[in-house]
Amino acid sequence: MREGPGASLGIASVANLRDLGGYTATHGSVVADKLIYRSDQLNAVSPADLNKVATLGLKTAFDFRTEAERDHAPDMLPPGVEYVWLDVLNDAPGAGPAQLGSLLQDPQKADAALGNGKAEALFSQAYRDFVTLASAKSAYHRFFAALSNPGNGPALFHCTTGKDRTGWAAASLLTLLGVSHAQVYADYLRSNEYILPAYKSLIDAFVAKGGDPEITTAVLGVRKPYLDAAFDEVDRRYGSIESYFEMGLSIDGATQELLRKRFLVAG
């Protein structure tokens, strides 16, 4: 397994838990380690693994999931960690990708709903929704405003698999911090290394029943066109990541600078 920035922390029951630090940014700075973590859901965490999570010294955990996702698999957190629920997809009809996992139980239904490129088109639209939905703007505003306050960190943020709602939060923050396009996409795509193996039994069962493996990788993995769609929506509506934060998320220039001061250190 490759190491370096973006690598999993190796906690088996939270396979996509990763430190967002270590990436190089502008003017020789580096994203600080051990301040901000991206993750999949913290449910069914073994006692030993929960002890490992506790060593991160988290102050706050931000949950981007829908109410149904949260109620089905509530977070298991170490004592003393403040839990903050921010439903990114509250305004999305049917909550989009959040509901797609159930289709993988039935290959016939999955093929009808998601085959022939439909899954990729659905996810690309969902990533545009991350930029445009009122609930997404509200959730991400609260998230980034909270991150600008050192008292809320170290912090962790997650959705269900830690790849889409979480992926956009990570990509937009890294971009605001001046991390290169190539590194932002590398961090985003590394979810495939951890999520797809974690869902191997589900994928194998789906394929064994005649399901198209292309559907499973489109739904359970990440693809460059998904993130492209979100950045295209930012460019189309706002022209830059800074304007997206200021005009879309009501995170003004002074708060953006606080985020840079908080998460960037000398290289």
What is the bridge-based pairing of β-strands 36-39 and 18-19? antiparallel
Asked whether the beta carbons of 127 and 225 are under 8 A apart, the reply is no
Q: What is the pTM of this model?
A: 0.96
Q: What is the mean pLDDT of the chain?
A: 94
Mean pLDDT (whole number) for 4-11: 94
Domains and CATH numbers, the chain: 12-94+104-266 (3.90.190.10)
pLDDT in tens, 42-82: 999 999 999 999 999 999 999 999 998 999 999 999 999 99
Mean pLDDT (whole number) for 85-102: 77
Query: For residue 219, what are the CA distances in angstroms to 61, 62, 177, 192?
Result: 25, 23, 29, 11
* Residue 246: exposure state from Cβ atoms within 10 A (0-12, 13-18, ≥19): middle
pLDDT value at residue 2: 57
Q: 3-class SS at 193?
A: helix
